Amino acid sequence: MAGSTYGNIFRITTWGESHGKALGVVIDGCPAGLPLCEDDIQQYLDRRKPGQSSITTQRKEADEVEILSGVFEGRTTGTPISLMVRNTSQISKDYGNIATCYRPGHADYTFDAKYGFRDYRGGGRSSGRETIGRVAAGAIAAKILKHLGIEVFAYTRSIGPITIDDTQFDKDAVYSTPTAMPDKQANEKAMTYLQVARKDCDSVGGCMECVVTGIPAGIGDPVFEKLDANLAKAMMSIGAVKAVEIGDGTAVSSRKGSENNDSFRMENDRIIKTTNHAGGILGGISDGSNIIIRAYVKPTPSIFKTQQTVNQTGQEIDLQIKGRHDPIIVPRAAVVMECMTAITILDAMMANMSSRMDSLTTFYSPADTK
């Protein structure tokens, strides 16, 4: 099936493998007239780039983006924007038993089951590098949202047992700490925790959170295209995510209605909620409060400890993974979360423009009455 396209009106199609020639994305449906240059996109790619700290893979990739189409004289034209990043550090190596064995926690076995064989080099299409296209496209979505007064912001909430202290929230720390935690103390504890795990040839899981501010009420759809349903899909489509929460998430299941309902009140002539257990979405449609999403990420499946597995001929073997691997996925995945959220929100906002007759009649008022 054609499964590399996401979005309806603002629609992206990603392509590329970990050790192929290049990776990229085609963005179709981007409105015409947006000022856009490589640097707008590069900033986002740099946040997911490997080799930036001791807790990311030491693979060296510049991940430089090239705009191949859809921009003319510095502005988007409304036609497809093709973005490409060349792979430069595909170390020519003996893939050894990786080519034939099924790494636990990886997609090796399931790819073979589906397709009959696979590009085993660095995980092929199931590699984390697949997200390059998402981030490149999300940078554009985020730029458009900024024009509309909306900000999307993701960060690391927890690493292993260490969770940020919300009272110490420091937005800048997200960009200056290797863990992307908005809390410098938590960052330090997490770094220590990670060094120990790494020494143990092990890896660590974590949680990332995304906040959308400035979104108006009324975005989303009542049934299958609920805004939270699409956000859940977007999050769960990021490799290694195993759970998604909106607002208070799992916690609501042990609450009473009187505790969980958010009261409406007036503030400066606008309707607001006095609390935000709902995470900014009611009945699948934004309610004007901040949208809050959390995604829980499993520990990197590539660990250096010896593991039991089988190979494709059905022999049970002991596996020793080598190479360059992040001991934790979360810090680099936070920008992916931000980008997938931006694309989802923008797509819903574009869809929303035709939801009322008066919007159509305003937009298409007959020429003689304009």
SS3 211: strand
Binding region for a copy of itself (CB under 8 A) out of 20-28, 40-48, 88-96, 181-189: 20-28
User: Judging by beta carbons within 10 Å of its beta carbon (0-12, 13-18, 19+), is residue 100 exposed, middle or buried?
Assistant: middle
294 neighbors 245 (Cβ within 8 angstroms): yes
CB of 306 to a copy of itself, least distance (A): 10
Q: Which stretch binds a copy of itself (CB under 8 A): 41-49, 53-61, 172-180, 343-351?
A: 343-351
- 8 Å CB contact between 46 and 332: no
Q: Which residues are within 8 A (CB) of 36 and not within 5 positions of it... i.e. 6 or more apart?
A: 67, 71, 74, 75, 76, 81, 140, 143
**Which of the ranges 55-63, 171-179, 184-192, 228-236 carries the binding residues for a copy of itself, by CB under 8 A?**
228-236
- CB of 142 closer than 8 Å to CB of 214: no
Count of residues that bind a copy of itself according to CB under 8 A: 174
| Residue among 173 and 209 whose Cβ is closer to a copy of itself | 209
Which is nearest to 342 in space by CA: 195, 202, 235? 235
What string marks each residue from 173 to 212 as x (binds a copy of itself by CB under 8 A) or -?
A: ------------------------x--x-xxxxxx-----
62, two tokens: 């510049």
Residues numbered 34 to 93 that lie near a copy of itself (CB under 8 A) are 34, 66-70, 72, 75-82, 84
State the amino acid at position 297 in one-letter form. V
**Tokens linked to 245:** 């929460």
Tell me, what amino acid is at 124? G
- CA dist 136 and 36 (Å) reads 12
Q: Which of residues 257-286 bind a copy of itself (CB under 8 A)?
A: 257-266, 269-271, 274, 277-279, 281-286
For residue 18, the minimal CB distance to a copy of itself (Å) is 10
Stretch that binds a copy of itself, among 169-177, 182-190, 331-339, 353-361 (CB under 8 A): 353-361
Q: Does 158 bind a copy of itself (CB under 8 A)?
A: yes
Q: How far is the CB of 112 from a copy of itself (least distance, A)?
A: 8
Find the binder of a copy of itself among 51, 178, 249, 323 (CB under 8 A).
249
Which of 52, 184, 217, 324 lies at the binding interface for a copy of itself (CB under 8 A)? 217
Tell me how far apart the alpha carbons of residues 232 and 170 are, in angstroms, rounded to a whole number: 26
Identify which of residues 172 and 274 has a Cβ nearer to a copy of itself in the complex: 274
Could you say which residues in the range 112-131 bind a copy of itself, by CB under 8 A? 113-119, 121, 124-126, 130
Pick out residues in 299-338 that bind a copy of itself (CB under 8 A): 299-303, 305, 307-310, 314-316
Please say whether the beta carbons of 99 and 122 come within 8 A: no
C-alpha closest to that of 280 among 211, 339, 332: 211
